[in-house]
Chains A and B, each alone.
Chain A
Amino acid sequence: MALVDRIGSGMEGLGGGIVLTSVDALVDWSRGQSLWAFAMGTACCAMELIASSFSKFDFDRLGTFPRPDPRHTDVIILAGTITEKMKPAVRRLYDQMPDPKWVIAMGNCTVSGGIFYYDSYTVVRGADTFLPVDVYISGCPPRPEALQDGIIQLRELVRMESIAPGKRRERTPLLPGAPAVSASDADKGEQ
Protein backbone atom coordinates (compact mmCIF):
# COMPACT_ATOMS: atom_id res chain seq x y z
CA MET A 1 0.00 0.00 0.00
CA ALA A 2 1.21 3.48 -0.78
CA LEU A 3 2.13 5.89 1.97
CA VAL A 4 -0.83 8.13 1.19
CA ASP A 5 -3.23 5.17 1.53
CA ARG A 6 -1.75 4.27 4.90
CA ILE A 7 -2.08 7.84 6.15
CA GLY A 8 -5.65 7.92 4.87
CA SER A 9 -6.76 4.73 6.55
CA GLY A 10 -4.94 5.80 9.68
CA MET A 11 -6.88 9.06 9.74
CA GLU A 12 -10.15 7.22 9.30
CA GLY A 13 -9.95 5.85 12.80
CA LEU A 14 -8.88 9.11 14.40
CA GLY A 15 -11.55 11.25 16.03
CA GLY A 16 -14.54 9.71 14.23
CA GLY A 17 -13.23 10.65 10.81
CA ILE A 18 -13.25 14.41 11.34
CA VAL A 19 -9.56 14.70 10.53
CA LEU A 20 -10.01 12.64 7.37
CA THR A 21 -12.99 14.68 6.25
CA SER A 22 -11.13 17.97 6.66
CA VAL A 23 -8.04 16.69 4.90
CA ASP A 24 -10.22 15.31 2.12
CA ALA A 25 -11.99 18.63 1.74
CA LEU A 26 -8.67 20.44 1.41
CA VAL A 27 -7.17 17.91 -1.01
CA ASP A 28 -10.26 17.80 -3.19
CA TRP A 29 -10.61 21.56 -3.27
CA SER A 30 -7.03 21.96 -4.42
CA ARG A 31 -7.38 19.17 -6.96
CA GLY A 32 -10.48 20.72 -8.42
CA GLN A 33 -8.87 24.11 -8.74
CA SER A 34 -6.00 22.68 -10.74
CA LEU A 35 -7.27 19.99 -13.08
CA TRP A 36 -4.68 19.46 -15.74
CA ALA A 37 -6.30 18.23 -18.91
CA PHE A 38 -5.13 15.86 -21.60
CA ALA A 39 -6.50 17.38 -24.76
CA MET A 40 -7.41 14.39 -26.89
CA GLY A 41 -8.52 16.51 -29.79
CA THR A 42 -9.47 14.46 -32.81
CA ALA A 43 -11.72 16.60 -35.02
CA CYS A 44 -13.64 19.89 -35.10
CA CYS A 45 -14.17 20.08 -31.34
CA ALA A 46 -10.40 20.28 -30.98
CA MET A 47 -10.58 23.76 -32.52
CA GLU A 48 -12.93 24.89 -29.78
CA LEU A 49 -10.78 23.17 -27.18
CA ILE A 50 -7.78 25.13 -28.41
CA ALA A 51 -9.83 28.32 -28.53
CA SER A 52 -10.94 27.82 -24.95
CA SER A 53 -7.32 27.53 -23.81
CA PHE A 54 -6.24 30.70 -25.50
CA SER A 55 -6.48 34.36 -24.65
CA LYS A 56 -10.14 35.10 -25.30
CA PHE A 57 -11.58 32.36 -23.08
CA ASP A 58 -8.50 31.44 -21.06
CA PHE A 59 -8.71 28.07 -19.42
CA ASP A 60 -5.68 28.81 -17.28
CA ARG A 61 -7.64 31.06 -14.95
CA LEU A 62 -9.62 27.96 -13.92
CA GLY A 63 -6.37 26.17 -13.24
CA THR A 64 -6.82 23.89 -16.21
CA PHE A 65 -3.81 23.55 -18.41
CA PRO A 66 -3.62 21.42 -21.55
CA ARG A 67 -0.81 18.91 -21.39
CA PRO A 68 0.32 16.71 -24.26
CA ASP A 69 1.27 13.79 -22.02
CA PRO A 70 -1.39 11.65 -20.31
CA ARG A 71 0.89 10.87 -17.40
CA HIS A 72 0.80 14.47 -16.22
CA THR A 73 -2.94 14.94 -16.29
CA ASP A 74 -6.08 14.45 -14.21
CA VAL A 75 -8.80 14.69 -16.80
CA ILE A 76 -8.96 13.60 -20.43
CA ILE A 77 -11.09 15.78 -22.66
CA LEU A 78 -12.28 13.76 -25.63
CA ALA A 79 -12.90 16.34 -28.29
CA GLY A 80 -13.91 15.02 -31.66
CA THR A 81 -15.22 11.92 -33.39
CA ILE A 82 -13.70 8.63 -32.32
CA THR A 83 -13.41 6.02 -35.05
CA GLU A 84 -12.76 2.30 -34.81
CA LYS A 85 -9.17 2.85 -35.91
CA MET A 86 -8.59 5.45 -33.21
CA LYS A 87 -10.36 3.65 -30.37
CA PRO A 88 -7.46 1.46 -29.19
CA ALA A 89 -5.17 4.48 -29.08
CA VAL A 90 -7.63 6.47 -26.95
CA ARG A 91 -8.14 3.55 -24.58
CA ARG A 92 -4.40 3.12 -24.20
CA LEU A 93 -3.96 6.82 -23.45
CA TYR A 94 -6.71 6.67 -20.84
CA ASP A 95 -5.02 3.67 -19.23
CA GLN A 96 -1.75 5.59 -19.05
CA MET A 97 -3.28 8.32 -16.90
CA PRO A 98 -2.66 7.99 -13.16
CA ASP A 99 -5.57 7.76 -10.70
CA PRO A 100 -7.71 9.66 -9.79
CA LYS A 101 -8.79 10.48 -13.31
CA TRP A 102 -11.92 11.75 -14.96
CA VAL A 103 -13.27 11.79 -18.50
CA ILE A 104 -15.07 14.64 -20.20
CA ALA A 105 -16.89 13.79 -23.42
CA MET A 106 -16.97 17.02 -25.37
CA GLY A 107 -19.17 17.40 -28.37
CA ASN A 108 -22.01 15.39 -29.82
CA CYS A 109 -19.73 12.85 -31.48
CA THR A 110 -18.31 11.62 -28.20
CA VAL A 111 -21.66 11.76 -26.43
CA SER A 112 -23.55 9.60 -28.91
CA GLY A 113 -21.95 9.62 -32.32
CA GLY A 114 -23.54 12.96 -33.17
CA ILE A 115 -24.14 13.78 -36.79
CA PHE A 116 -22.33 10.56 -37.72
CA TYR A 117 -24.72 8.28 -35.86
CA TYR A 118 -26.46 7.13 -39.03
CA ASP A 119 -24.82 5.49 -42.02
CA SER A 120 -21.23 5.62 -40.85
CA TYR A 121 -19.32 2.36 -40.84
CA THR A 122 -16.38 3.41 -38.66
CA VAL A 123 -17.65 5.86 -36.06
CA VAL A 124 -17.88 4.74 -32.43
CA ARG A 125 -21.28 5.83 -31.19
CA GLY A 126 -20.35 7.53 -27.98
CA ALA A 127 -17.20 7.41 -25.90
CA ASP A 128 -19.08 5.75 -23.05
CA THR A 129 -19.04 2.48 -25.00
CA PHE A 130 -15.43 2.00 -23.96
CA LEU A 131 -14.60 4.64 -21.34
CA PRO A 132 -16.30 5.68 -18.10
CA VAL A 133 -17.44 9.19 -18.91
CA ASP A 134 -18.01 11.64 -16.09
CA VAL A 135 -19.21 14.81 -17.79
CA TYR A 136 -21.06 15.02 -21.09
CA ILE A 137 -20.97 18.31 -22.95
CA SER A 138 -23.25 18.43 -25.94
CA GLY A 139 -22.94 20.79 -28.85
CA CYS A 140 -21.55 20.56 -32.33
CA PRO A 141 -19.11 22.00 -31.45
CA PRO A 142 -19.90 23.21 -27.92
CA ARG A 143 -18.92 26.77 -27.18
CA PRO A 144 -15.72 27.28 -25.18
CA GLU A 145 -17.83 28.60 -22.32
CA ALA A 146 -19.68 25.27 -22.28
CA LEU A 147 -16.41 23.40 -21.96
CA GLN A 148 -15.32 25.61 -19.10
CA ASP A 149 -18.67 25.04 -17.45
CA GLY A 150 -18.02 21.33 -17.80
CA ILE A 151 -14.78 21.67 -15.88
CA ILE A 152 -16.56 23.62 -13.15
CA GLN A 153 -19.22 20.90 -12.94
CA LEU A 154 -16.45 18.33 -12.74
CA ARG A 155 -15.31 19.87 -9.47
CA GLU A 156 -18.46 18.44 -7.87
CA LEU A 157 -17.31 14.98 -8.82
CA VAL A 158 -13.79 15.69 -7.66
CA ARG A 159 -15.19 16.49 -4.21
CA MET A 160 -16.34 12.90 -3.89
CA GLU A 161 -12.82 11.55 -3.79
CA SER A 162 -11.08 10.61 -0.58
CA ILE A 163 -7.45 9.80 0.19
CA ALA A 164 -8.48 6.77 2.24
CA PRO A 165 -8.59 3.87 -0.18
CA GLY A 166 -11.99 2.61 -1.23
CA LYS A 167 -13.96 5.40 0.42
CA ARG A 168 -16.21 7.83 -1.41
CA ARG A 169 -18.08 10.78 -0.01
CA GLU A 170 -21.61 12.04 -0.52
CA ARG A 171 -22.07 14.47 -3.32
CA THR A 172 -24.47 17.36 -3.03
CA PRO A 173 -27.05 17.22 -5.82
CA LEU A 174 -26.68 19.89 -8.48
CA LEU A 175 -30.40 20.31 -9.00
CA PRO A 176 -32.62 21.08 -5.99
CA GLY A 177 -34.85 18.16 -5.14
CA ALA A 178 -32.77 15.54 -6.93
CA PRO A 179 -31.62 12.56 -4.84
CA ALA A 180 -28.12 12.81 -3.42
CA VAL A 181 -25.58 10.60 -5.18
CA SER A 182 -24.27 8.07 -2.69
CA ALA A 183 -20.95 6.30 -2.75
CA SER A 184 -22.41 3.05 -4.15
CA ASP A 185 -24.03 4.88 -7.07
CA ALA A 186 -20.69 6.38 -7.96
CA ASP A 187 -19.04 2.99 -8.20
CA LYS A 188 -21.58 1.85 -10.79
CA GLY A 189 -20.12 4.34 -13.22
CA GLU A 190 -16.65 2.78 -13.06
CA GLN A 191 -15.78 -0.14 -15.25
Chain B
Amino acid sequence: MNYEDLKSRLTQLSPKLSPLFSQEFGDAVIGVERGALMATARELADIGFDRLGMVTAVDRGAYFVVVYRLHSRSLSTAVFLKTRAPRDEPVVDSVCAVWPAANWHEREVFDLFGITFTGHPDLRRILLPEHWVGHPLRKDYEDEHIIRRPDYI
Protein backbone atom coordinates (compact mmCIF):
# COMPACT_ATOMS: atom_id res chain seq x y z
CA MET B 1 0.00 0.00 0.00
CA ASN B 2 1.23 3.52 -0.56
CA TYR B 3 2.47 5.91 2.05
CA GLU B 4 -0.72 7.86 2.71
CA ASP B 5 -2.87 4.76 3.10
CA LEU B 6 -0.30 3.19 5.37
CA LYS B 7 -0.04 6.27 7.55
CA SER B 8 -3.79 6.61 7.94
CA ARG B 9 -4.21 2.88 8.58
CA LEU B 10 -1.52 2.76 11.25
CA THR B 11 -2.60 5.93 13.02
CA GLN B 12 -6.12 4.57 13.01
CA LEU B 13 -4.92 1.37 14.68
CA SER B 14 -2.71 3.25 17.10
CA PRO B 15 -3.08 7.04 17.45
CA LYS B 16 0.16 7.33 19.40
CA LEU B 17 2.17 6.67 16.25
CA SER B 18 0.97 9.68 14.27
CA PRO B 19 3.61 12.29 15.17
CA LEU B 20 6.46 9.93 14.36
CA PHE B 21 5.90 9.31 10.68
CA SER B 22 8.00 10.49 7.78
CA GLN B 23 8.70 9.24 4.31
CA GLU B 24 11.94 8.52 2.50
CA PHE B 25 12.28 7.11 -1.01
CA GLY B 26 8.81 5.69 -0.82
CA ASP B 27 9.35 3.93 2.52
CA ALA B 28 7.49 4.86 5.68
CA VAL B 29 9.80 5.68 8.56
CA ILE B 30 8.78 5.81 12.21
CA GLY B 31 11.32 7.80 14.18
CA VAL B 32 11.37 7.54 17.98
CA GLU B 33 13.46 8.69 20.89
CA ARG B 34 15.51 6.05 22.67
CA GLY B 35 13.25 6.05 25.70
CA ALA B 36 10.12 5.36 23.67
CA LEU B 37 11.62 2.52 21.66
CA MET B 38 10.28 -0.43 23.65
CA ALA B 39 6.78 1.02 23.91
CA THR B 40 6.64 1.72 20.17
CA ALA B 41 8.05 -1.73 19.39
CA ARG B 42 5.33 -3.41 21.45
CA GLU B 43 2.72 -1.19 19.83
CA LEU B 44 3.85 -2.16 16.34
CA ALA B 45 4.05 -5.84 17.25
CA ASP B 46 0.46 -5.67 18.51
CA ILE B 47 -0.77 -4.01 15.33
CA GLY B 48 0.56 -6.81 13.19
CA PHE B 49 4.26 -6.24 12.51
CA ASP B 50 5.20 -9.76 13.47
CA ARG B 51 8.42 -10.11 11.53
CA LEU B 52 11.68 -8.29 12.17
CA GLY B 53 13.74 -8.16 8.98
CA MET B 54 16.98 -6.65 10.22
CA VAL B 55 18.61 -4.46 12.84
CA THR B 56 21.47 -2.29 11.75
CA ALA B 57 23.17 0.99 12.56
CA VAL B 58 24.64 3.95 10.69
CA ASP B 59 27.44 6.08 12.08
CA ARG B 60 26.47 9.71 11.63
CA GLY B 61 29.34 11.28 13.52
CA ALA B 62 27.72 12.80 16.58
CA TYR B 63 25.22 9.98 16.95
CA PHE B 64 24.39 6.50 15.70
CA VAL B 65 21.10 5.80 13.97
CA VAL B 66 19.78 2.34 14.86
CA VAL B 67 17.52 1.10 12.07
CA TYR B 68 14.94 -1.67 12.36
CA ARG B 69 13.06 -3.06 9.36
CA LEU B 70 9.66 -4.50 10.25
CA HIS B 71 7.32 -6.51 8.03
CA SER B 72 3.70 -7.32 8.50
CA ARG B 73 2.15 -10.19 6.59
CA SER B 74 -1.39 -9.34 7.59
CA LEU B 75 -1.10 -5.70 6.48
CA SER B 76 1.18 -6.65 3.55
CA THR B 77 3.54 -3.83 4.25
CA ALA B 78 6.87 -2.91 5.77
CA VAL B 79 8.20 0.08 7.71
CA PHE B 80 11.46 1.38 9.08
CA LEU B 81 11.74 2.09 12.78
CA LYS B 82 14.63 4.39 13.59
CA THR B 83 16.11 5.68 16.78
CA ARG B 84 19.24 7.59 17.71
CA ALA B 85 21.97 6.91 20.24
CA PRO B 86 24.57 9.59 21.05
CA ARG B 87 28.14 8.67 20.36
CA ASP B 88 29.38 9.10 23.91
CA GLU B 89 26.59 6.92 25.31
CA PRO B 90 25.74 4.27 22.69
CA VAL B 91 23.15 2.33 24.69
CA VAL B 92 19.76 1.24 23.36
CA ASP B 93 17.10 -1.11 24.70
CA SER B 94 17.05 -4.57 23.20
CA VAL B 95 13.88 -5.68 21.40
CA CYS B 96 14.59 -9.39 21.85
CA ALA B 97 11.61 -9.67 24.16
CA VAL B 98 9.31 -8.48 21.38
CA TRP B 99 10.94 -10.16 18.34
CA PRO B 100 13.36 -13.04 19.17
CA ALA B 101 14.88 -12.63 15.70
CA ALA B 102 16.72 -9.55 17.00
CA ASN B 103 19.12 -11.73 19.00
CA TRP B 104 21.85 -12.27 16.42
CA HIS B 105 21.26 -8.94 14.65
CA GLU B 106 21.88 -6.99 17.84
CA ARG B 107 24.99 -9.01 18.54
CA GLU B 108 26.27 -8.04 15.12
CA VAL B 109 25.56 -4.34 15.71
CA PHE B 110 27.33 -4.58 19.07
CA ASP B 111 30.29 -6.26 17.39
CA LEU B 112 30.70 -3.84 14.52
CA PHE B 113 29.54 -0.55 16.09
CA GLY B 114 29.90 -0.96 19.82
CA ILE B 115 26.28 -0.15 20.62
CA THR B 116 25.19 -1.91 23.83
CA PHE B 117 21.69 -3.35 23.99
CA THR B 118 20.33 -3.50 27.52
CA GLY B 119 18.30 -6.59 28.25
CA HIS B 120 19.94 -8.72 25.57
CA PRO B 121 20.32 -12.32 26.81
CA ASP B 122 23.79 -12.96 25.40
CA LEU B 123 25.61 -9.87 24.16
CA ARG B 124 29.03 -10.82 22.82
CA ARG B 125 30.95 -10.59 19.59
CA ILE B 126 29.67 -12.68 16.75
CA LEU B 127 31.69 -11.98 13.60
CA LEU B 128 35.09 -10.88 14.85
CA PRO B 129 37.37 -12.93 17.10
CA GLU B 130 36.82 -12.53 20.83
CA HIS B 131 40.10 -10.74 21.37
CA TRP B 132 39.44 -8.02 18.78
CA VAL B 133 39.78 -4.45 19.99
CA GLY B 134 37.65 -1.78 18.41
CA HIS B 135 34.51 -1.65 16.33
CA PRO B 136 35.36 -1.68 12.63
CA LEU B 137 32.31 -0.16 11.01
CA ARG B 138 32.64 3.09 12.94
CA LYS B 139 33.91 5.85 10.74
CA ASP B 140 36.87 6.62 13.03
CA TYR B 141 38.16 3.06 13.21
CA GLU B 142 41.95 2.90 12.94
CA ASP B 143 43.82 -0.25 12.04
CA GLU B 144 47.32 -0.60 10.60
CA HIS B 145 46.32 -3.80 8.88
CA ILE B 146 44.06 -1.96 6.43
CA ILE B 147 45.59 -0.87 3.14
CA ARG B 148 43.37 1.82 1.74
CA ARG B 149 42.35 1.53 -1.88
CA PRO B 150 43.68 4.35 -4.06
CA ASP B 151 41.10 6.62 -5.61
CA TYR B 152 40.32 4.96 -8.92
CA ILE B 153 37.26 6.76 -10.18
Which positions in A face B, CB cutoff 8 Å?
84-85, 117-122
Residue of A nearest to B146 (CB): A121
**B73 on the A face (CB < 8 A):** no
B128 / chain A contacts, CB cutoff of 8 Å: 85, 122
| Prevailing SS type, chain B contact patch | loop
Q: Which 4 A-B pairs have the closest CB atoms?
A: A118-B149, A85-B129, A121-B143, A121-B136
Residues on B with beta carbons closer than 8 Å to the beta carbon of A120: 146
- Write out the residue numbers on chain A whose beta carbons fall within 8 Å of the beta carbon of B148: 118-119
Using a Cβ–Cβ cut-off of 8 Å, how many residues does chain B contribute to the interface with A? Answer: 10
A118 / chain B contacts, CB cutoff of 8 Å:
147-149
User: Contact at B146–A119, with CB atoms within 8 Å?
Assistant: yes
Question: Which secondary structure dominates chain A's binding surface?
Answer: loop
What is the bound-complex CA distance between A59 and B125, given in angstroms?
40
- Report the separation of the CA atoms of residues A121 and B127 in the bound assembly, to the nearest whole angstrom: 12
* A84 and chain B: residue at smallest CB distance: B129
B129, A117: Cβ atoms closer than 8 Å: no
Interface residues of B in 135-153 (CB under 8 A from A): 136, 141, 143, 145-149
Q: Who on chain B is nearest to A122 by CB?
A: B128
Name B's A-contacting residues (CB within 8 A). 128-129, 136, 141, 143, 145-149
For residue B146, which residues in chain A have a CB less than 8 angstroms away from its CB?
A: 119-121
Q: Which B residue sits closest to A86, measured CB to CB?
A: B129
A122 to B145, CA, bound (A): 8
Q: Report B-chain residues with C-beta under 8 Å of the C-beta of A119.
A: 146-149
CB distance from B106 to the nearest CB of A (A): 21
Shortest beta-carbon distance from B86 to chain A in Å: 25
What is the CA–CA distance of A120 and B136 in the complex, to the nearest angstrom? 10
B145 neighbours in A (Cβ, 8 Å):
121-122
CA distance A118 to B149 in the complex (A): 5
- Chain B's closest residue to A119 (CB) is B149
Which B residues lie within 8 Å of A85 (CB)?
128-129
Min CB distance, A116 to chain B, in Å?
A: 10
Q: Which residue of A lies closest to B141 (CB)?
A: A121
User: In the complex the two chains form, is A117's CB within 8 Å of B147's CB?
Assistant: yes
Q: Taking CB as reference atom, which chain B residue is nearest A120? A: B146
Distance in angstroms between the alpha carbons of A119 and B149 in the assembled complex:
6
